[in-house]
Amino acid sequence: MHPNPAFRGESGAANLGFALARGFGALCVNGAAGPLVSHLPFCEAAGGIEFHIVRAAPMARALAAPQPGLMVVSGADAYVSPDWYGMEHQVPTWNYHAVHLRGVVELLPETALRGHLERLSAAFEARLQKAPWRLDKMPDDVLTRMMRAIVPCRLRIDDVQGTLKLGQNKPEAARVAAGRAMQAEGFGSGAAEIAARMLAPE
């Protein structure tokens, strides 16, 4: 997380809410040969978040015993040209929104897998304008075969940290000028969203 307090104004509840609304992140744990990362959808669970990983993945073996983990949840981001500020002695940077969820990652019992899959799909299907897809639409034999390939997990969250970097450390006129330039020609994964927030910071 960025150490500048200007970018750390979001509350823990707001940061967690952003992560849950996003519902997708990169889980990082230590493996025998170094860090391991899995990109995963997740949903809220008691005391944390729940997800599943591929049984054959090195991460599943690394989680034979509970261990510390970090879920990195990224939002919009965009490049910022120093010319956009209308100020001297500026440098290029990147504005972004990200949240880190830290805690202990543990495998859940195999008996928890079906319930987890039902909750996960329900969480995302509820956002669509259609009748929700349900797990019971799958033939039992096909579902059973697919479930053998994954294992359910939970991250018990101990700490939530977030960075919302929108140029809050710049004078308002400079931040607004950069936001307008970003609207016109910005790039990144969500430049329009970052520009809009730079023009109307919360």
Summarised one tens digit per residue, pLDDT across range 95-143 is: 999 999 999 999 999 999 999 999 999 999 999 999 999 999 999 999 9
pLDDT at 200: 86
% of the chain at pLDDT higher than 70: 99
How far is residue 162's CA from residue 74's CA, in Å, rounded to a whole number? 10
Helix (H, G, I), strand (E, B) or coil at 33: coil
Average pLDDT of the chain? 95
To the question of domain 5-79+91-169 being in CATH 2.30.110.10, the answer is yes
What lies within 8 Å, CB to CB, of 104 at 6+ separation is 66, 67, 68, 69, 155, 156, 158
Bridge partners (DSSP) listed for residue 93 = 80
User: What band does 33 get if pLDDT is binned at 50, 70 and 90?
Assistant: confident
Q: Are the beta carbons of 80 and 95 closer than 8 angstroms?
A: yes
Going by C-alpha positions, the residue among 199, 155, 173 that lies closest to residue 20 is 155
How far is residue 165's CA from residue 163's CA, in Å, rounded to a whole number? 6
% of the chain at pLDDT higher than 90: 93
Q: Which residue, chain included where needed, has tokens 């990109």?
A: 39
> Residue 63: phi, psi to the nearest 5?
-95, 20
Domain coordinates of the chain in residue numbers? Answer: 5-79+91-169
Q: Which amino acid is at 98?
A: A
User: What band does 37 get if pLDDT is binned at 50, 70 and 90?
Assistant: very high
- Is pLDDT at 202 greater than 90 in this prediction? no
pLDDT at 80: 98
Per-residue model confidence as pLDDT tens digits over 169-200 = 999 999 999 999 999 999 999 999 999 999 98
